[in-house]
Structure 1
Amino acid sequence: MRQIDHFISGGTGASASRFGDIMDPNNGGVQARVALGDAAVLERAVQAALAAQPAWATTNPQRRARVMFEFKRLVEANMDDLAHMLSSEHGKVIADSKGDIQRGLEVIEFCCGIPHVMKGEYSQGAGPGIDVYSMRQPIGVGAGITPFNFPGMIPLWMCGPAIATGNAFIIKPSERDPSVPVRLAELFIEAGLPEGICQVVHGDKEMVDAILDHPAIGAVSFVGSSDIAHYVYNRGVANGKRVQAMGGAKNHGIVMPDADLDQVVNDLAGAAFGSAGERCMALPVVVPVGDDTAERLKAKLIPAIQALRVGVSTDAEAHYGPVVTAQHK
């Protein structure tokens, strides 16, 4: 059976004693297994990051930006393979998977201009005989704990700015669909990134706790549920880390009486059912203003919902595919 290993210092990690199943959302079977790491695995990744990061930090921003340009080109060149890989583990249709990766690339495009973003400031005469200046400097080693629903976009959102500004970054993706983050790390190496700067470790709560407790990891970014976001934030800041913990995002919609209902129906159907609703834009609550608005909306929305087609992730005619696991359903 196919096995997904850690990606540490440009290569696969050591043999694991624990594994998790990677399901095939299209048939409910097990398609692969992923190594579940612990503090010892994380330590290997951190030591590799600490060894590589100082030289990367002293690499001038223009050269770091060139790596970003080449990485963007490689991701675009491998878009079809990445999208099929993503869909095979997550279940979203290919078009959604390409959008997932493309949204991540928008941040990489921003990182291609990192030399300008890293400029500091200088204020002359801020006080009597006092000049004030600021410099932007890397933290060192950061880590990202990313969710299952956007296994391409969110790792790219996190690792791109961190790496472009001179940090090393360790990604702990969801164990449900870990293949795309590993492939992205491989493409970074191919683009010219030094080994040890972008690494991927897999695991469950044991690995998350190791990340939150490790003294050499200076910052952690998290996206996931509200309960886990609270846990990550409290444990991370207690250990002196910078933490951004984004959890429980769900949009709500208000439909005004003068709204273009054809546009509303199109937007609601896409938001609620695209990616089988497994995203922050899922719009679980929609409030029409007034009974007349509600009735007119239902008259258009219900037939539109009934016309949606669910299929396997590779079905080009399907509007959405299966959810990621049977337990999630």
Structure 2
Amino acid sequence: MEERILQNYINGKWVNSNSGKFREVTNPATAELLAKVPVSTLAEFDEAVQIAQKAYHSWRRVPVTNRIQYLFKLKMLLEEHFEDLARTITLEHGKVLDESRGEMRRAIENVEVACGTPSLAMGDLVEDIAPGIDEMMIRQPLGVVGLISPFNFPAMIAFWYLPYAVATGNTVVVKPSSRVPITMVKMFELMQEAGFPEGVVNLVNGGAEIVDGMLDHPLIKAVGFIGSTPVALHVYSRGAAHGKRVSAGGGAKCPCLILPDADINTTTNIMMDSAFGCSGQRCLAATVAIMIGEADKTFIPAFAEAASKRVTGYGINPDVQMGPVITMQDKVRIEGLVKQGLDEGCEMLVDGRNAVIPGYEKGYFIRPTILTDIPVNGIIHSTEIFGPVLGIMHCNTVDEAIKIVNDHTFGNAASIFTRDGTAAHKFRYEALAGNIGVNIGIAAPMAFFPFSGWKDSFFGDLHGQGKHAIEFFTQTKVVIERWPKEWTRKF
């Protein structure tokens, strides 16, 4: 991929930013410079919003069956360019190619579900709710909406929201992560090819100033965001203070209960993929394994062996199972948290620090790392590490483990591995987390279902994906009609 200066996409055209400020986009496996992304100005962002507002008035009047035709075209283009987009994700993010393919598939699934908007956005009607009176509830779009996407899923997370927003008649301004902007630029090129009318979809690159500008702008009616909890809380609080709808996903600590009766091979394989897939840089990563009873006697050795054998390297190479973390700063931060955990009394089972990959010595690599005996109040359990680090603790009973799950400030996801249906049902019912896995390591909802974080993992009422996204991007209007007999319906 040749180095290039990225542009913004406003009013159906690619335009240069006038800020004169740029950030470098690097390949985390090689430290190679891939592109420079502009730090756009608030004036440029306002231009995009004004254009989107103008486009909204005509776009909302386009019949929904016509609006989704653009999504059908986009779906076909995403399929046609599937491998190129997956490769781009790997180049700028670092995840292995199969993980990038999985991300693209999830993005496309949301386009497919949004094509069902004519059914999903149906209202309600009660005929003769009173003598001579009919009453109905209809859904109408909000206006201009803003989306802020994180670095860990350059394609997927924006598409938890974007297809539903445009299908329901809104116009959109997207701010991608400046760490991984190339993928979204390519996806917008395909939206341009799909023929979306000018101003319906817009992209503005930038930093925190653009985020705050989005939260403050009076024409932005709703904001979708996924990121860390401190930033999610900021987005929610500031956006809500300006009267906006906000769907803000935050951090996570996704515990997995391992019961002694769980299948050792299946559980080990799933846990390794869950803990170390995407180098642990995802909010559904299995970051804590809670061994119940005597499960630790068999599963800890199995985890150690599997983690030690996991192949770390450049994600483009087909034999690689785990890529680098996103930046050198993140590598230093993660290794520092591991050291702090050891200082607090954790035991090192598998040490992946100071990793050097032959041929990729400049890359930001950490091999799979496992710590045991992690204290409940220690840094490894309390903090979202966002790296390839798995902590292990022990509980005597499922009840004791559920209490640990429920006492945590995060509530994004939690899983249980067992053959015991009673234990699984108890966990599913009592665990305070929005996404529950039973013999599933990554409890990621399909596009039909919302991504349901709880507690400090989510701020707002409605989540991305599926029916929730349809509701998030529409407002209800109740219409009450009376037609007196002496009047006529001749029109």
Q: Is the shorter-chain TM-score for this pair beyond 0.5, marking a shared fold?
A: yes
1:272-320 per-position Cα deviation (integer Å, ceiling 9, x unaligned) = 1111111112111110101x21111012111111110011121110001
Alignment of 1:1-329 (within 5 A): 1-13=3-15, 14-126=17-129, 131-290=134-293, 292-329=294-331
Measure the CA separation in 1 of the matches of 2:261 and 2:133: 58
SS of the residue 1:327 aligns to: helix
Measure the CA separation in 2 of the matches of 1:47 and 1:261: 57
1:15 Cα shift? 2.8
1:127 Cα shift? 5.3
Give yes or no for contact 1:10–1:186 (8 Å, CA) kept in 2: no
Give yes or no for contact 2:315–2:321 (8 Å, CA) kept in 1: no
Aligned residue pair count: 328
1:16 Cα shift? 2.6
The structure that is helix-richer by fraction is 1
Give yes or no for contact 1:276–1:322 (8 Å, CA) kept in 2: yes
Structure 2: any 5+ residue segments left out of the alignment? 332-491
Equivalent position amino acid for 2:285 in 1: A
Residue 418 of structure 2: aligned partner: none
Give yes or no for contact 2:315–2:322 (8 Å, CA) kept in 1: yes
SS of the residue 2:161 aligns to: helix
SS of the residue 1:143 aligns to: strand
Measure the CA separation in 1 of the matches of 2:148 and 2:118: 27
1:141-194 per-position Cα deviation (integer Å, ceiling 9, x unaligned) = 001111000010011111010011111011111100001112112211211211
Equivalent position amino acid for 2:4 in 1: R
1:132 Cα shift? 2.6
Equivalent position amino acid for 1:152 in 2: A
SS of the residue 2:327 aligns to: coil
Equivalent position amino acid for 2:289 in 1: V
Equivalent position amino acid for 1:203 in 2: G
1:12 Cα shift? 2.2
1:88-119 per-position Cα deviation (integer Å, ceiling 9, x unaligned) = 11011111111111111111110111111121
1:124 Cα shift? 2.9
SS of the residue 2:146 aligns to: strand
Give yes or no for contact 2:9–2:202 (8 Å, CA) kept in 1: yes
Equivalent position amino acid for 1:315 in 2: N
Equivalent position amino acid for 1:95 in 2: D
SS of the residue 1:284 aligns to: strand
1:244 Cα shift? 0.8
1:225-253 per-position Cα deviation (integer Å, ceiling 9, x unaligned) = 00000000000011111111110133210
Give yes or no for contact 2:19–2:41 (8 Å, CA) kept in 1: no
1:125 Cα shift? 4.3
Equivalent position amino acid for 2:313 in 1: G
- Same amino acid, percent of matched pairs: 38
Measure the CA separation in 2 of the matches of 1:23 and 1:174: 13
Equivalent position amino acid for 1:162 in 2: A
Give yes or no for contact 2:18–2:40 (8 Å, CA) kept in 1: no
SS of the residue 1:222 aligns to: strand
Bigger shift: residues 8-17 or 60-69 = 8-17
SS of the residue 1:123 aligns to: strand
CA distance 1:129–1:258, shift in 2 (3 Å): farther
Give yes or no for contact 1:38–1:210 (8 Å, CA) kept in 2: no
1:47 Cα shift? 1.5
SS of the residue 2:329 aligns to: coil
Equivalent position amino acid for 1:114 in 2: T
Q: Which has the higher contact order (CA 8 A, sep 6+)?
A: 1
Measure the CA separation in 1 of the matches of 2:184 and 2:141: 23
Bigger shift: residues 16-25 or 233-242 = 16-25
1:115-148 per-position Cα deviation (integer Å, ceiling 9, x unaligned) = 1112111123445665431111111100111100
Task: Tell me which structure has the larger Cα radius of gyration.
Answer: 2
Measure the CA separation in 1 of the matches of 2:140 and 2:244: 16
Q: TM-score, normalised by structure 1?
A: 0.96
SS of the residue 1:135 aligns to: strand
Measure the CA separation in 1 of the matches of 2:268 and 2:198: 48
